[in-house]
Structure 1
Amino acid sequence: MYHFEGERTGFCQVGPKKWIFPSPYMPYAEKYYNVPLREDDVWIVTYPRSGTTLCQEIIWLINNNLDYKTSKSVNLTQRFPFYEFQILHHDEVHKEIEVLNNNDPEVNEQLRKWRIPGYITLEQLPSPRHIKTHFSFSLLPPKLIDTCKVIYVARNPKDVAVSYYHHNLLFKVHGYLNKGGFKKYWEFFQKDLLTFSPYWEHIREGWEKRNEKNVLFLFYEDLIKDMSSGIKKIAKFLEKTIGIDDVNQLVNHLQIDNFRKSVPITYSVNGMARESAQPFIRQGKVGENKEFTDDILESADKWIEENANKIGIKFPVK
């Protein structure tokens, strides 16, 4: 019996594809599915830890005429909100955080905002709106790709799993206790027992829409290998003109050390993150997955090859 510990109020499985979500998703599912869209919305759709944050910054800057001043002064989570962030938060966990912070009014207000459903938050945003989601296409508004521009980013599952593992260790809201280390976590990943899984079905839905007019499908590996080309591709998709000097400036801005220093990203308050864990923005590299020891590497590679072949997708090599 496999069991992924965490999520105080348990998990739910959604639909015939058995999507996994924390139970707070259930009361809000219909409204997330039916949120009103605007024609100038720009969405990024990814399975977690697929290079989402980096791509958010690229998309926002290109679509806002390279406004670095605002980029450096306004949190990315405000400029490009996480649509379903609310379902990851539980009243019980927040009550503990409030006590830990002696009911600091600022902390309590931040926690309250995190519990507001994304479809309510979106109503208050000025256009053009930039929206991040880890929901698969089948759980998003059915007219999404007919109405809005959507960028889907895929990443090699080994790098995804390693990054997701450290992410689950970082934030206490996930409730992950690391019983069995990465080897056990990889079992959870393969068995589709992590939030926003199944991974391969998520990738399949994105891949099947890659030729739609309003969809740009990107591999994270291609973006890291040739950032300039990736930026130009995104700019063309967004119908924005960008010169070579601007491309070079953006590439420099996105270098991992510069990115950490200059792009404000806040998903935590005191007591929400574990100090011993790796940070939210990790290495951003391709193929740096030392967690895959020899005893699981061969079977993992075989599993990946079999599933990728079923979809007809091939991840770029390092």
Structure 2
Amino acid sequence: MSARFPLSIKSVSPDVNKQLLEDFTGERTGFVQVGDDEWFFPSKYASQGANFYNFKVRKDDTWVVTFPRSGTTWTQELVWLIANDLDYDTATKIPLVDRFPFLEFSLFVHDDVKQELLNQSEGDPEKQALIEQLSKPGYEVLNEITSPRFIKTHFPFSLLPPNLLEEGCKVIYVARNPKDVAVSFYHLNRLFRTQGYKGDFKKYWDYFEKSLHPWTPYWTHVIEGWKRREHPNMLFLFYEEMNKDISATVEKVADFLGKSLTDEQLSQLTSYLHINNFRKNKAVNMDPLKAIGLLQNGEQDFIRKGQNGSWTDEFTPELEKRADEWIKENMKKTDLRFPVHLVEE
């Protein structure tokens, strides 16, 4: 590993690892924790982590950085269209996963799962090529892409290239309240074979709250973003505000990217991004991944409800009380406040 990578990497305890592998069937080897904050990832992070940290950024890169299920896909499409002068033609023809690569997705494609997908797609070279591309580390994929590049990541700032903001990259960070994040992430973990979660929501919340889940600890992640909100190359957004007034968000992002929109363009883009239209958009709803068998049948779609407060679908009163205490305790460490009423005062 590179000498420039400053963080320790350790395996989770054998007992915890055994239980995790039973509940998350997409990983077959085990899980690691990184640094003093114990960032949680599948085993591949041990061999690839330093390369993500040392990834060579370019000053004209545009990044969307989020904790998972914080409106990432929505933000990516919004950002890409504004930066590319509302090129709807390209946006509908080329999948978002190709226009806006996911930096660390390779960490979640275990070699055994990759082989299973390849076997399943035997005789279909197009599907097999997509599987190979998805399992290729993002730092390799992005090194081959011409500028300007658009990059999606769920890494916290402490695991990203240290010069990301200083180099001149434009970074949009989106935060969403933890209850809605957890419910949405629970359904995604059931949907994706690379995660393959088999348990119920109560058990899932237990992993989430204890930071035994990819990209956790949640609070450290969002606080790292919040602390950088005043940097001139950073735009910090709340999903709740995006959801309440997408037009205002579009204008804010356009201003950040140095673009201006007419009233007509603003109206057209707002309609394009409306959740009812967005859900039907084949370029953003992971159809290519469904085609190669990476998405499980019988689970909720990748683009779900797009609502604030949908956490009530899964939380029992007992679990809600527990979550509220966890939120209240962690809110003491920061002046970050979500623009929704999360806990009773």
Give, in angstroms, the shift of residue 285 of structure 1. 0.6
* % identity of equivalent residues: 48
Matched, 1:288 2:307: no
Contact 2:70–2:181 (8 Å) recurs in 1: yes
Give, in angstroms, the shift of residue 263 of structure 1. 4.7
Partner of residue 259, structure 1: 278
Partner of residue 244, structure 2: 225
The 1:183–1:308 alpha-carbon spacing in structure 2 relative to 1, beyond 3 Å, is same
Unaligned 5+ residue runs, structure 2? 1-14
Give, in angstroms, the shift of residue 211 of structure 1. 0.8
Residues 59-89 of structure 1, C-alpha deviations (whole Å, 9 max, x = no match): 0000000101111111000111101111110
Contact 2:100–2:152 (8 Å) recurs in 1: yes
Contact 2:192–2:296 (8 Å) recurs in 1: yes
* Among candidates 252, 261, 270, match of residue 242 of structure 1: 261
TM-score for both structures, normalised by structure 2: 0.89
Residues 241-290 of structure 1, C-alpha deviations (whole Å, 9 max, x = no match): 11221111111001112112235133343432211100111111100121
Contact 1:41–1:149 (8 Å) recurs in 2: yes
Identify the structure with bigger relative contact order (alpha carbons < 8 Å, sequence gap 6+): 1
Matched, 1:308 2:331: yes
Query: Aligned-residue CA RMSD in angstroms?
Result: 1.4
Equivalent residues in 2 for 1:14-33, closer than 5 Å: 14-33=34-53
Contact 1:8–1:175 (8 Å) recurs in 2: no
Give, in angstroms, the shift of residue 103 of structure 1. 4.7
SS at match of 1:189: helix
Contact 2:219–2:330 (8 Å) recurs in 1: yes
Give, in angstroms, the shift of residue 303 of structure 1. 1.3
Residues 168-207 of structure 1, C-alpha deviations (whole Å, 9 max, x = no match): 00011113112xx111111111000110111011011001
CA distance, structure 2, for counterparts of residue 306 and residue 135 of structure 1 = 24
CA distance, structure 1, for counterparts of residue 184 and residue 34 of structure 2 = 24
* Among candidates 96, 106, 130, match of residue 150 of structure 2: 130
Equivalent residues in 2 for 1:32-111, closer than 5 Å: 32-111=52-131
Equivalent residues in 2 for 1:178-189, closer than 5 Å: 178=199, 181-189=200-208
* Among candidates 133, 141, 144, match of residue 121 of structure 1: 141
Q: Please, which moves more after superposition, 200-209 or 30-39?
A: 30-39
TM-score for both structures, normalised by structure 1: 0.96
Between Structure 1 and Structure 2, how many residues are aligned? 316
Contact 1:71–1:263 (8 Å) recurs in 2: no
Partner of residue 194, structure 2: 173
CA distance, structure 2, for counterparts of residue 308 and residue 78 of structure 1 = 37
The 1:244–1:305 alpha-carbon spacing in structure 2 relative to 1, beyond 3 Å, is farther
Residues 212-255 of structure 1, C-alpha deviations (whole Å, 9 max, x = no match): 11111100000110111111111111111112211111110011
